[in-house]
Structure 1
Amino acid sequence: MFRRIGNAVVRHPVWTIVAWLIAAVAIVATAPSLPSSSDESSFLPRSYESIKAADLQQEAFPSAFTPSAIALYKRTDGGKLTAADQRDVARITSELKKKDIDQVQKVVPGQPSEDGRYALTLVQMDSKKAGQPEQADAAKVLRDDVKELAKGTRLDVKLGGSAAQALDQQDSSERGEALIGIGTFVIILVTLLIIFRAPILAVLPLILIGLVSAIANGLIAFATKLFDLEANSSISSILIVVLFGVGTDYFLFLIFRYRERLRLGDEPKQAMINAVDRVGEAIASAAGAVIIAFLALVLSTLGFLKQMGPALAIAVAVTLIAGLTLIPAVVSLIGPKVFWPSKSWRKEPDNARFAALGRGVRRRPALTAALSGLVLVVLSLGMFGYQATFDLASGSMPKTKESMVVQDEMQKAYSAGAAAPTDVYLSTTDGRRLDESALAPYARKLGAVDGVANARLTQVNKEGTTADFTVTLEYEASTDKAIDAVSRVRDIAHANTPERTEALVGGMSSIYKDIDTAVNHDYRTVFPVAAALIMIILGLLLRSIVAPWYLMASVGLGFSATLGATVWIFQDWQGHPGLMFMLPVIMYLFVVAIGTDYNILMIARLREEARAGREPREAAGMALRHAGPTVAAAGFILAATFATMMLAGNSLLTEMGFAVSFGIAVAAFVMAMFFTPSLTALIGHAAWWPGHGDRAEATAADAGTARPGSAPAAPGDGASTAAYDPAERRG
């Protein structure tokens, strides 16, 4: 199949390129624009208690006041607010009421702090637009207006709250995307220049993947609109890295093999056809593993991951098609001039370093497996200290952003949980009015829960069927202590409901509690499904039942080592209270799926060497010698590309960038180069059971040719032996 694909695109390169250009123009021109949601509650399905509570609030208390923006006032000298300052706050609040700002429904004064140093203005917006760009725009207008109104006073005013956080997150995301994009381009460009010393080859993948990126983003927009998925600003940053990182990987897989075929004497077009034929299966299998792993996120209960899965799967699928069609067409059209001005492509390098590594694996596979495995096991010990954090707002932007400063100052000036109180809604089950005499005792029981600062009855709906109890926790809403406290509140609220009533607990801490539950569900569902599907792909590629088991075990060990290292770096060294809650899921999929690429490339090359008549240990050594440079180059570029996410300036992308880049480095430089080939050498022929995929190939083209392995090995990054070369020159 891959030979036919290679033949088609190499024989008709211009038509292939034109088809891609037409597709790009059509898709980009017609793709819908996507709103981006940063509302945490949109992550969860409606079956969770926190979402049921939010729906009940809308039904029972449609005019309930929930601030979307909070203006925080303090004196510029840090002293207590004077009577004149209080009048200025009242005036600013009144002036804001008079302004007809889009999305703003109510503007009311808030409670001053107990120490008299802070005052608040609370702004309610349309709850149906929570987290949407319209409210970020409204927050920008509010921020400008409130600062303008405070001019000439002794007041320093800052705007916080969810709408302001959405605005700051948007600004931070745009800056982060720019830094990630620039960093990605520079890393790919410089690394390819060093590897090939050919400017055309350095620039070409950036141009081609840029075209692929435009098509992929358009298709993602169509899919998101069609299936009503959640869009999130963080996904676009991840997409940049995935498209250019994975795309460069597949570009390198193909170019290294194309150069090898040229060195073996193939005519240029035939060299590309043979390259697609030889490496196409490995690229398709690697991409298939990544796509399936990403699609497994559809099983997630979190809206963020549900959208990320199909989006990344579409991006990789388009990249795969480009790797098998667009890249071969363009390179075959340029021909060997693609390597200009370097002439080193004509001659095989000695590859002494990788040859030495290959000899080491061949001679001492047990020692190699033990040492590389020990490194992974030691790093894995750190994972037992893993803690999750749910503060998405501070995780997605620097602490210096204005809304984050407001959040921190409010935690110091007010009860830590005052900025996001928990609500308990008590409703009758038969539609009758609540027994008012039972409400005060119920509030006292809620207030007695460990971790609750106070609890009070706030309001009862006009029908008298639902009561709202405001429960203020002692802890900031996203902390582990707050999540544990809201769990205790739920237990007491459910266990002490009066007759004919039921209770629902809502608020941000309740949402975080449900997100925690949903993530734990995903660990039990997404991980095994993704692993099982990747194993099936490996089994089909290798025609083996044995190899997929130890390949996935090695990748799983790589995941554990990566999580352990990330915990040690960010929790133990930098003092973070925890890692972002979705990091293990994302890390698992990137490290397991993309990291499997290198295992696939190495094991496919090892099989190729075995089919040339080599014994298992010799095949492992030769595979490392010849495929090692490809894995090293691709692994370095992909790891460095993901590391650019650390430039975004927020803890979410910093943690993700480090974890994924470290995991890919482990996958390329520990697993694929040492652990996998040494294990395969130790297991021997049994690794290919029952398909016997390592049996020497006997073809008509071999007639009259020396026995495979008897000819001298052609040194280099991809060449194996000239002995099986004639079989590659078919068609």
Structure 2
Amino acid sequence: MFGWLGRGVVRHPWWTIGAWLVAAAVLVVFAPKLTTKSDQQAFLPKKYESVAASNLAEKAFPSGDQKVDREMVVVKRSDGGTLSAADQQKIGQTAKAIQAKAIPNVQMAATSPQTLSQNHKVQLIVVGLPNGFDTKTQKKNEDAIKQVRAVTADQLKGSGLAYGVAGNFASSVDNEKSSQRTLALIGLATVVLIIALILIIFRSPIAALLPIIVIVLVSQVANAVTAFIGKAFDLSFDDGFSTIIVVVLYGIGTDYILFLLFRYRERLRAGEDKKTAMITSVERVGEAIASAAGAVIAAFIVLVLASFKAFGALGPQLAIAVAVMFITALTLVPAIVSLLGRFVFWPSKAWKKEPKPGLWVKIGNSVGRRPAVTAIASGLVLVALAAGALAFKADYDFQAGSPQNTESAKAMKDLQASLPSGLTSPTEVYVQGSGPLDKSAVQKFQQTLATAKGVGQVAPAQYSPDQSVAKITVVLKLNPSSNEAISLVKGPFRDLAHQNAPPGTKAMVGGMTAAYADINEVNNRDLSVIIPVAVLLIGIILALLLRALVAPIYLVIAVLLGFTATLGATVALFQGIEGKEGLMFQLPIILYLFVLAIGTDYNILMIARLREESREGHDPRRAAALGIQHAGPTVAAAGVILAGTFAALTLSPQSMLAEIGFGVAIGILLSAFVMSALFVPSITALMGHKAWWPGHGDAARKGNQPPAAEPYDLVDRPV
């Protein structure tokens, strides 16, 4: 099949390029707009309590404040002193001025003695904004925050009072420029890294620029295809993952192009003309690229099984990007390179010469001689790192992961120093009855909630128009996004509310902290479902590629071990060395995506080369040595580039992106240099012919006889 594809593309390169460009233009021009969300609760299934509470609130309080995001204007004295009566009066006038300004999207601006801290150091002006996280609402809310700041600054000028606005949208405004600069820096670092490394490998600016040009085009097409599919299946995407998708395209796209260029150079060195060399390259590498892409796409698609729909939408988005890149790598790229021929490596002439025996020959020979020692040593490295995964703790505090030198971050610290942290995102308890509620029973229930551990304030109950639902706002002493608050709401507080609900009623706990508690539960469920299904699908793809059952088993075990080792290494750095309380809750799924899925690429490329060497008539140990010698440089180069593109994320001031960048980078390096280059070849050498059971994937091709007594220090052939 891939020989047929290679011949078709190479013999008709201009038709291939033209067809690709026309299809790309049509898709990009007519693509609908991508639908994105940022609200984590919007991605939860309806069966979870926080979502049920939110839905009840919308029905029971159609004009209530359950749809309001509470942004806080935190006011204090510039000299750090206590707020006088005159100061408090000035703060009240400021609240009225904000309200009177009629700023679009500002639903209310108010202050009261209840928003004054007990130590009189801080007083709040609560500003209500719509809590929708769609792109349009978010932009209007961010504009409103800017106007609120302008009005407040004007009102407090010369008063001796200082202020800062804290909250979700205030944080978005403060981090917008930082995020844009970071994204630009990451993009620049990624491009520079790819160009620099490919220049070192091939010593050719043309080869270095080829992946960049192709991937820029592919990213536009992938976004267009994603938009069409998103509209067709009513999918919403989390815009927090946009940076990751760009990095994935650069990383995996460069990998596939490198797989092809390495093999193309190899065939040219063997004396084939430029067209024959490319046809052979597509035929030999096409199956490995297809299997690798298939494994990645399968792993991504499995995310549709996630109950947390942010990942359910991310999976198809990534799968589409990889599928477009895969098609491009086996059509557009071979067509372009077949036209360029040897010029793709210009001005270097190094492609003509077989390099002298170097590091990869030594590594291959060492593995071939002592596969058992290699397998044990590399396995112990992975197991030792994997042990760290047992200490993993999830963190849901997005604001703590943002830069701490912004106005919103400083205002949040001032608020938390003098007032209950939960003011920024109160927990809501709803009491639902079949008819009008007994208000005395609700009041008693309210008093019970006030005595609960971790509760700072409890507001008087609000009743629905038909009196059948009561809403009790509870302010926690803890940071509402902290692990302590989530554990409290998930366990003791919910249990207390459920057990002490007035007779004949049902109590439900909602709010952002409750939503994070549900996300915690759904994440655990998703990991327990997604990873086994993905492993099964990857195993099936490997079995089809290798026509064997034994090799896929230890390959899958190796990838799972690599995934766990990656998580353990990340935990060791951020929780152990840096002393962070936990890692962002999305991290295990993200590492699953890129280490379990993309790490399989390198195993596939290596095992395919081991099989190829066996078919040339080499015994298992010699096949391992030669496989490492020839596939090792490709895997290493691809791994370094892919790891480097993700490592660029560590430049981000957002801790989530920094954790993802480090975690995926170390996972890719482990996959390339430990699993694929050492562990898999050594196990395959030890297993020998049994690795290919029940098939005969390693059977020598007709005419290929086992070479006689090959010494391990001999480089006997160039291909």
TM-score per shorter chain, which class? over 0.9
Of 384-393 and 605-614, deviating more is 384-393
| Paired position in structure 2 for 1:314 | 320
For the pair 1:461 / 2:464, whether they are aligned, the reply is yes
Identity %: 48
For the pair 1:271 / 2:269, whether they are aligned, the reply is no
SS at match of 1:418: helix
SS at match of 2:461: strand
For the pair 1:586 / 2:590, whether they are aligned, the reply is yes
Which of 558, 564, 569 pairs up with 1:565? 569
Q: Tell me the distance in 2 between the aligned counterparts of 1:534 and 1:17.
A: 32
Shift of 1:649: 1.3
Contact map agreement 2:145 2:170 (CA 8 A) in 1: yes
Of 299-308 and 560-569, deviating more is 299-308
Change (3 A) 1:133 1:43: farther
For the pair 1:237 / 2:243, whether they are aligned, the reply is yes
Count of residues in correspondence between the two structures: 712
For the pair 1:517 / 2:521, whether they are aligned, the reply is yes
Residues 604-623 of structure 1 mapped to structure 2, 5 A cutoff: 604-623=608-627
Q: Please give the per-residue CA displacement for 1:684-705, whole angstroms capped at 9, x wherever unaligned.
A: 111101111111111xxx4xxx
Q: Please give the per-residue CA displacement for 1:206-258, whole angstroms capped at 9, x wherever unaligned.
A: 01111111111122222233323233232210011100100000010000000
Q: Tell me the distance in 2 between the aligned counterparts of 1:401 and 1:539.
A: 53
Contact map agreement 1:36 1:133 (CA 8 A) in 2: no
Change (3 A) 1:387 1:56: same
Q: Tell me the distance in 2 between the aligned counterparts of 1:412 and 1:266.
A: 73
What residue identity is the alignment partner of 1:69? E
| Paired position in structure 1 for 2:142 | 136
Change (3 A) 1:523 1:481: same
| Paired position in structure 2 for 1:75 | 77
| Paired position in structure 2 for 1:546 | 550
Contact map agreement 2:38 2:133 (CA 8 A) in 1: no
Of 180-189 and 401-410, deviating more is 401-410
SS at match of 1:462: coil
Structure 1, unmatched stretches of 5+, are 726-731
What residue identity is the alignment partner of 1:527? I
TM-score, with normalisation over the residues of structure 2?
A: 0.95
Q: Tell me the distance in 1 between the aligned counterparts of 2:630 and 2:711.
A: 10
Change (3 A) 1:313 1:172: farther
Q: Tell me the distance in 2 between the aligned counterparts of 1:529 and 1:631.
A: 26
Change (3 A) 1:401 1:45: farther
Contact map agreement 2:97 2:151 (CA 8 A) in 1: no
What residue identity is the alignment partner of 1:425? Y
What residue identity is the alignment partner of 1:438? A
What residue identity is the alignment partner of 2:420? S
Q: Tell me the distance in 1 between the aligned counterparts of 2:339 and 2:117.
A: 71
Residues 44-63 of structure 1 mapped to structure 2, 5 A cutoff: 44-63=44-63
Contact map agreement 1:459 1:467 (CA 8 A) in 2: yes
| Paired position in structure 1 for 2:437 | 434
Contact map agreement 2:69 2:131 (CA 8 A) in 1: no
Contact map agreement 1:713 1:721 (CA 8 A) in 2: no
Structure 2, unmatched stretches of 5+, are none
Change (3 A) 1:34 1:89: farther
Q: Please give the per-residue CA displacement for 1:593-649, whole angstroms capped at 9, x wherever unaligned.
A: 101110000000000000111111111111001111101111110011110111121
Shift of 1:713: 11
Q: Tell me the distance in 1 between the aligned counterparts of 2:178 and 2:314.
A: 20
Which of 422, 428, 435 pairs up with 1:423? 428
Residues 258-407 of structure 1 mapped to structure 2, 5 A cutoff: 258-395=264-401, 397-407=402-412
Of 166-175 and 234-243, deviating more is 166-175
Change (3 A) 1:330 1:289: same
Contact map agreement 1:714 1:720 (CA 8 A) in 2: no
Contact map agreement 1:361 1:621 (CA 8 A) in 2: yes
What residue identity is the alignment partner of 2:87? D
Q: Please give the per-residue CA displacement for 1:195-214, whole angstroms capped at 9, x wherever unaligned.
A: 11111111111011111111
Contact map agreement 1:609 1:720 (CA 8 A) in 2: no
Q: Please give the per-residue CA displacement for 1:353-387, whole angstroms capped at 9, x wherever unaligned.
A: 11111111111000000000111111112111111
Change (3 A) 1:24 1:205: same
Q: Tell me the distance in 2 between the aligned counterparts of 1:460 and 1:642.
A: 51
Shift of 1:456: 4.6
Change (3 A) 1:92 1:226: farther
Of 493-502 and 24-33, deviating more is 24-33
Residues 29-40 of structure 1 mapped to structure 2, 5 A cutoff: 29-40=29-40
Q: Tell me the distance in 1 between the aligned counterparts of 2:83 and 2:584.
A: 38
Q: Tell me the distance in 2 between the aligned counterparts of 1:461 and 1:670.
A: 62
SS at match of 2:38: coil
Shift of 1:105: 1.6
Q: Let me know the Cα RMSD of the aligned residues.
A: 2.1
Shift of 1:507: 1.2
TM-score, with normalisation over the residues of structure 1?
A: 0.94
For the pair 1:707 / 2:705, whether they are aligned, the reply is yes
Which of 626, 647, 654 pairs up with 1:650? 654
Of 610-619 and 465-474, deviating more is 465-474
Which of 443, 446, 449 pairs up with 1:443? 446
Q: Tell me the distance in 2 between the aligned counterparts of 1:121 and 1:507.
A: 21
Change (3 A) 1:387 1:529: same
